[in-house]
Chains A and B, each alone.
Chain A
Amino acid sequence: MAETSPDVALFATCLVDAFRPSVGFAAAKLVEESGSRVVVPEAQTCCGQPAYNSGDRATATKIAKQVVDTFAPFAAVVVPSGSCAGMIKQHYPALLADDPAYAAKAKALAAKTHELLAYLVDVRKMTRCAARCSRTATYHDSCSGLRELGVKAQPRTLLKSVDGLALIEAPNAETCCGFGGTFCVKYPEVSTRIVDAKITDAIATGADLVLGGDLGCLMTIAGRLSRQGSTVEVRHVAEVLAGLDDRPAIGVAKTPPQG
């Protein structure tokens, strides 16, 4: 096995890799600002949640092993997603518990894996960011980050340091957005009713920007907002904290169509 590298490996997650590289760049920038060097292992794909939550344990196990192997050499792994970090931290050890070759490795990976905001604030003791953003924002607590990993105060700590940003809490910030992985396409009407409640709650704060830490939720919220004709923007919290919010928000064109 390769020697342990002191570098932080960024597990971008499949959604960030394919849909929103900006979040990957922002996460890497923040990790570097916190004083660590970043590596992005080429062999990473997905954490296996689609299989795991569909009941396909065999596939989930196979992918989990691949992730364990890919990230074994690094001192720490940072993930800009509560649900993927939760998958590695909470579910891999159980999934691989009965595999003598992987049980210990899965536990070791779980111990050194961190959700991005938790890493910055809890591990690196970051208390502020140099970013500026003159917007009124509200923060959506993604379910897995909140309930599996206790990510709640960390994003708020850093957001409060962003120059010009007004952060207003939505009363139901902790309520699910209705994404739920394959749930959103298996039961689209139910999912839509749930995201509508989320949107109503978020908009009532007067915010023109919805932030969160999980791209699945953010794509759901952004997709429903734009379908309703709303101009409220949606971004991953890392984009704002890293000052990379100059590019279009989620689901917004690079150059807005004329007229």
Chain B
Amino acid sequence: MDATSHTFSANARTALADVKLQRALDRLAEGFPARRRDAVARLPEFDALRDAAVAIKDHTILNLDRYLERFEAKVLEAGGRVHWCRDAAEARATILSICTRAKAKSVTKGKTMVGEEIAINDHLAANGLDVVETDLGEYIIQLRGEPPSHIIAPAIHLSKDQVADTFRKAHGTLPPARPLTESRALLEEARTVLRSRFLGADVGITGANFLIAETGSTVTVTNEGNAELTMTLPRVHIVLASIEKVVPTLEDAATMLRVLARSATGQDVSVYTSFATGPRRPGDLDGPEEFNVVLLDNGRSAMLEGELREMLRCIRCGACLNHCPVYAAVGGHAYGWVYSGPMGAVLTPALIGLDPAKHLPEASTLCGRCEEVCPMRIPIPKMLRHWRERSWQRGPSATRSRFGLAVWAFVAARPRLYRWATGAVAALLARLATRGRFAWLPFASAWTGTRDFPAPEGRGFVASWNRGERR
């Protein structure tokens, strides 16, 4: 997809004016955080589990090459293939060539954020393949031609009415008067439509939550069971995963799964957890004839060294989005690319470049709630500051605020000047304010547009105290 991160402010204004979106965001803010809180409360050892998960990932990232090679060896042993792809273009070409070799016409897809990252749907469609998303949320946004607005709940920005409208338009052969007010009815309708697609698909593409080096297995969690049908029914299964998804052992994967579901949806465990290891073996009841893993780097190996390394621990649980005040205000689309919220604000500049994404690290209050809830204890505010430093070094954006900051820095470094200047301004403003506040102030319209500006009391504290005043 084309990124619109560079117009974050405008995107945000549009989002704030979108009544339906705002209602959806309110629902999200009421739902996810409370469910996570309850799930965490039910498991006293949750924090210890987080520490264990962090240790697993840190160890894996330090030895990433070794574990990826072991993973590949095990996949080969099980009869599958691993395709190493440096960037999005290579991954797209690899997937297309697998499809072409299999003489595929129809492709089903499970939810994969890496698939969004490389825009695989558009590429396959442009090459004549018929691609259908099988995750309900992904299916809805595919019909609407929208990107996901949340990494685990891609259609969270929509109301039931909007989904019903979308279905009525897309499923033209069904009776127009059918009732579509209940979630259940929407789900049933999607299932019915998708059933024939599952059966007719030549290739199934899924993502992976984890790759297990010890066994060569890929692990996928869903709540709908769609990924299972996507990986077992077609002749060819392609797993699309980025390199940091690998963990050493099956037991490590189990630890990760325990923190993932609780952090993501507040479930103790997701409804479906599927392990795929190689193609169908003689005697297996089902499974694909061909098993491919497309391993994507796309900038991750560059994060191994340096300030962003801890971001490679991310397990895409979405907790940071669910607890972010900025995400709760504007939703995912405002961020303008595939990943949104706090994790998106860290990742997007790394993946599409800082210039087009420079707003995202700025558009944070640095409140720290993301780091507090992140199961992988990723220091997101620190990383956002890192990006801000990089932006600052690159120079003259937002010249006015730079100038303001330079004046402030000059004065703040000179205590006597500072005392005099702040005292004078405080006294002046206090005299001008008739009601204890300003509804408008020159140079402060960005504040006073929506908020009154409280007036100073009129004297500087430090100077007053040292003159002997005591209250």
Establish whether residues B461 and A50, one from each chain, have CB atoms under 8 Å apart when the complex forms: no
Residues of chain B within 8 A (CB-CB) of A57 are 389, 392
Q: Is residue A46 within 8 Å, beta carbon to beta carbon, of the partner chain?
A: yes
CA distance A192 to B450 in the complex (A): 7
Taking residues whose C-beta sits less than 8 angstroms from the other chain, chain B's interface range is: 35 or more
Interface pair B413/A44, CB less than 8 Å apart:
no
Instruction: Tell whether A17 is near chain B: CB-to-CB under 8 Å.
Output: yes
Of the residues B365, B425, B469, contact of A178 by C-beta under 8 Å = B365
Asked if B412 contacts A46 (CB within 8 A), the reply is: yes
Q: Choose one: B16, B371, B434, B449; the contact of A147 (CB below 8 Å).
A: B371
A-B contact count (CB 8 A): 221
Please tell me if the beta carbons of A44 and B462 are within 8 angstroms of each other in the complex.
yes
Q: Smallest Cβ distance from B268 to chain A, in angstroms?
A: 24
Binds B, one of A101-109, A151-159, A203-211, A251-259: A251-259
Q: Quick check: A251 and B437 within 8 Å, CB to CB?
A: yes
Stretch at the interface among A59-67, A115-123, A132-140, A162-170: A59-67
- CB–CB B466/A183 < 8 A: no
Question: Does chain A have a CB within 8 A of B453?
Answer: yes
> Is the beta-carbon distance between A194 and B415 smaller than 8 angstroms?
no
Q: Name the A residues within 8 Å of B405 (CB-CB).
A: 50-51, 54, 56, 59
| Cβ contacts under 8 Å, B437 to chain A | 222-223, 226, 251-253
Tell which of A29, A42, A192 touches B462, judged by Cβ atoms closer than 8 Å: A42
Collect the chain A residues with CB atoms within 8 Å of residue B274's CB.
none
| Among candidates A21, A227, A244, A248, residue contacting B460 with C-beta atoms closer than 8 Å | A21
Instruction: Tell me if B415 and A43 are in contact (CB < 8 A).
Output: yes
A193 pairs with B464, CB closer than 8 A: no
Give the distance in Å from the alpha carbon of A250 to the alpha carbon of B331 in the complex. 32
Q: Which residues of A contact B387 (CB under 8 A)?
A: 55
Query: CB of B250 within 8 A of chain A?
Result: no
Question: B365, B409, B415, B464: which contacts A180 (Cβ < 8 A)?
Answer: B365
- Which residue in chain B gives the minimum CB-CB distance to A184? B447
Q: Is B65 an interface residue when CB atoms closer than 8 A count as contact?
A: no
Judged by a CB distance under 8 angstroms, whether B418 is at the interface is yes
| Distance of A254 Cα from B459 Cα, bound (Å) | 14
What's the nearest-Cβ distance from chain A to residue B84, in Å?
35
B181 within 8 A of A: no
**Most chain-B CB neighbours within 10 Å: which of A17, A29, A57, A257?**
A17
Question: Max chain A CB contacts within 10 Å: which of B330, B419, B449, B451?
Answer: B451
B149 nearest CB across to chain A (Å)? 16
Q: Provide the main secondary structure of the chain A interface.
A: helix
Q: Please state if A55 and B389 are interface contacts (CB–CB under 8 Å).
A: yes
Interface size on A, residues (CB 8 A): 76
Contacts of B325 in A (CB 8 A): 175-176, 178, 194, 197
Is B412 in contact with A45, judged by CB distance below 8 angstroms?
Answer: yes
Once the chains bind, are A223 and B454 in contact (CB under 8 Å)? yes
| Chain B contacts for A179, CB-based, 8 A | 365
Contacts A12-B462, A18-B460, A19-B456 given; indicate if A189 touches B450 (C-beta within 8 A). yes
In the complex the two chains form, is B368's CB within 8 Å of A244's CB? Answer: no
CB distance from A149 to the nearest CB of B (A): 11
Partner of B388, one of A19, A54, A190, A251: A54
Q: Let me know if A143 is at the binding interface, CB within 8 A.
A: yes
Q: Collect the chain A residues with CB atoms within 8 Å of residue B388's CB.
A: 53-55
Complex CA gap A162/B433 in Å reads: 32
Residue from B425, B436, B451 within 8 A of A248 (CB atoms): B436
**Which residues of A have CB within 8 Å of B390?**
55
- Report A131 CB to chain B, min CB distance, Å: 14
B403 at the interface (CB under 8 A from A): no
**Does any Cβ of B come within 8 Å of A213's Cβ?**
no
- A45 near B450: Cβ-Cβ < 8 Å: no
CB distance from B332 to the nearest CB of A (A): 14
How far, in whole Å, are A184 and B453 apart by their CA atoms in the complex? 12
**A178-B325, A223-B452 known; A189 vs B13 contact (CB < 8 Å):** yes
Q: A93 at the A/B interface (Cβ < 8 Å)?
A: no
Measured CA separation A225–B36 after assembly (Å): 31
Q: What separation, in Å, do the CA atoms of A147 and B462 have in the docked complex?
A: 28
Q: How far is the CA of A45 from the CA of B466 in the complex (A)?
A: 14
Which residues of the other chain, B, contact A252 by a CB distance below 8 angstroms?
A: 435-437
Given contacts A18-B456, A63-B413, 5 further A-B contacts (CB under 8 A): A14-B422, A178-B325, A181-B366, A186-B398, A254-B436
Enumerate the 7 nearest inter-chain pairs by beta-carbon distance, A residue then B residue, closest first. Answer: A180-B365, A55-B388, A55-B392, A251-B454, A24-B461, A223-B451, A253-B436
Q: B residues near A, CB below 8 A?
A: 9, 12-13, 16, 29, 325-326, 328-330, 362-369, 371-372, 385, 387-393, 398, 401, 405, 408-409, 411-413, 415, 418-419, 422-423, 425-426, 433-437, 439, 444, 446-447, 449-457, 459-466, 469-471
Residues of A within 8 A of B (CB): 12, 14, 16-25, 28-29, 40-46, 48, 50-57, 59, 62-63, 66, 143-144, 147-148, 174-176, 178-195, 197, 219-220, 222-224, 226-227, 244, 247-248, 250-254, 257
